[in-house]
Amino acid sequence: MNKFKIICTTDIHGTIYPVDFSSNQTVDFGLSRFATYLEEQRAENEVLLIDNGDVNQGSPFVTFANKNEPMNIMAKALNKLQYDFVNIGNHDFNFGSDFFIKYINELEGTSIVTNVLYNGKTIGQSQVVTLPEYDVKIGIVGVVTDYISNWEKPANLTGLTILSVMETLKKEVASLKEKVDKIVVCYHGGLERNPETGEPTETLTGENVGYEIVTKIPGIDLLLSGHQHRSIVTHIGDTLVLQAANNVREVMEVTYDAGVFTGKLVPMHEYSSDQTFLESFSDVYNQTQHWLDEKIGPGAEGLSVSDIIEVQKEPNTFTRMINQAQLAFSDADISSTSLYDSTIGFAEEITYRQLAANFPFPNTLVLMEITGAILKEYLEWNANYWTLENDEIVVNPTYLEPKRQIYNYDIFEGIEYTINVQKPSGERIEDLTFEKKIVQDHDVFRIVINNYRASGGGDFHMLKKGTILKEYSEEIIDVMYDFLKNTDLTDLNKQQTANTMLTK
């Protein structure tokens, strides 16, 4: 008899094509490779297919499609692959409630999201799957991290209410217990603790509560998680817990046999792309490539980024350019920016392809008023990014494992200071000046930062003590595009000064 399998993707992030659009090189992951794997599995087994959220953001391909295609491109992709059930992720809220609801409505798969309301009504509901040939009834519940309101712009949540993950699951699991033999929870969130020891692996903000879910809500047989982009197959108590890496590098495959779930992660590099699947998106792909090849203007010396960590240690012309663009746009006193794993800087000729690689998230800018005391607290928290190892300054391992978070280190313009890494946390910032004057606690500054940071993202909660003066609607990538079109970048080299120093 064929086996019954639950196959779950998570954090697809717009990766339909096996292409790194920043370099235009082929990669060994993506939804097209998954399509080949899925066809093989369906030929041999009974398959229940689930997506666990974060599909609508993360690739230039989906960025272009979101702005230009009448139908949601990711709904089209999931429909082509005949997904049975769909959960949602935090990044699916990035484009506003109209976009969000349109995506949900265009899906042919059933929404299982139980902790999100739109105009007072849930956008999904728990499901019972009856499989008489396997003598089992399975209940399936979907929830998304309720920490979204701490990151997302209020305007993007119009009409939406996000309920407590824990309270929702307690109710849903209790309701399902009498109806089913097995309960599966699809949670777009991750593990906040080491599954073996129970020790916290991050600040317990409530962003990730996977460990709490399975230890405080009895009766869950399988937890399919996401959000952290980690590779996990483990048990917490009697609950099987899985999570897969992002961009369909791997998928979660769970087999049900004789009353027991067993799970593994299947890498997609072993499979070739399904060309028939890709043909459905070829027009959008070609248009995306044409859009990315648009030439914005000439670059300048020092704008490339070959080693992100080294640039974080010694900010260069590229980081200065970003902050100068933000200062010019907002007329702030101080600006901060961060780098991403996709950051490449600019070549001699700047194209939109490079711009998309450097600014992969649809963040907007926020102008805030903060005091000198808040600024110092901000910088001290930022300084925790560095530590000493064998007398060398290196990135604190907590920013690399269990989830890589190099985007949670900020680089500033408008102030000068030294980070003394050998000092204790909270006492590392030295010689902080603004316009050559020592910063006092009572001083007041206008600072421009992205909306994620302004909301306290990255545990920069002290920024929420500031006052928001203005929230801009333009995405950072558009701010940079206008700046590059109208700025002679060679002038940046003439003005460049070192405003941050690391010492040990």
Q: What residue numbers bound the domain in which 228 lies?
A: 4-288
d(CA 387, CA 396): 5
- Let me know whether 111 and 144 are in one domain: yes
Residue ranges of alpha helices (H) inside 131-181 are 165-177
- Under a CB-based contact definition with an 8 Å cutoff, are residues 223 and 214 in contact? yes
Which pTM value belongs to this model?
0.91
CB neighbourhood size of 259 (10 A): 11
Mean pLDDT on 440-449: 98
- Let me know whether 327 and 415 are in one domain: yes
pLDDT on residue 337: 97
Q: Which residues have a Cβ under 8 Å from the Cβ of 410 and sit 6 or more positions away?
A: 336, 337, 338, 378, 382, 449, 453
- Let me know whether 280 and 395 are in one domain: no
- Let me know whether 250 and 172 are in one domain: yes
Residue with the two structure tokens 């690399």:
400
User: Per residue, what are the HEC states of 170-204?
Assistant: HHHHHHHHCCCCEEEEEEECCCCECCCCCCECCCC
Pick the last residue of a domain from 270, 288, 306. Answer: 288
pLDDT surpasses 80 at 495: no
Residue with the two structure tokens 């699947």:
277
Domain harbouring 242, CATH code: 3.60.21.10
- Let me know whether 334 and 284 are in one domain: no
Pick the last residue of a domain from 252, 270, 288. Answer: 288
- Let me know whether 272 and 352 are in one domain: no
- Let me know whether 309 and 167 are in one domain: no
Tokens standing for 33?
């490779």
Structurally, the chain folds into a number of domains equal to 2
Over its C-alpha atoms, the chain yields an Rg (Å, rounded) of 24
Mean pLDDT on 367-392: 97
- Let me know whether 252 and 306 are in one domain: no
Per-residue pLDDT tens over the stretch 250-298: 999 999 999 999 999 999 999 999 999 999 999 999 999 999 999 998 8
Pick the last residue of a domain from 266, 288, 310. Answer: 288
Per-residue pLDDT tens over the stretch 388-409: 999 999 999 999 998 899 999 9
The pair phi, psi for residue 316, each rounded to 5°, is: -120, -165
Domain harbouring 376, CATH code: 3.90.780.10
- Let me know whether 18 and 129 are in one domain: yes
* 19 SS3 class: strand
d(CA 95, CA 93): 6
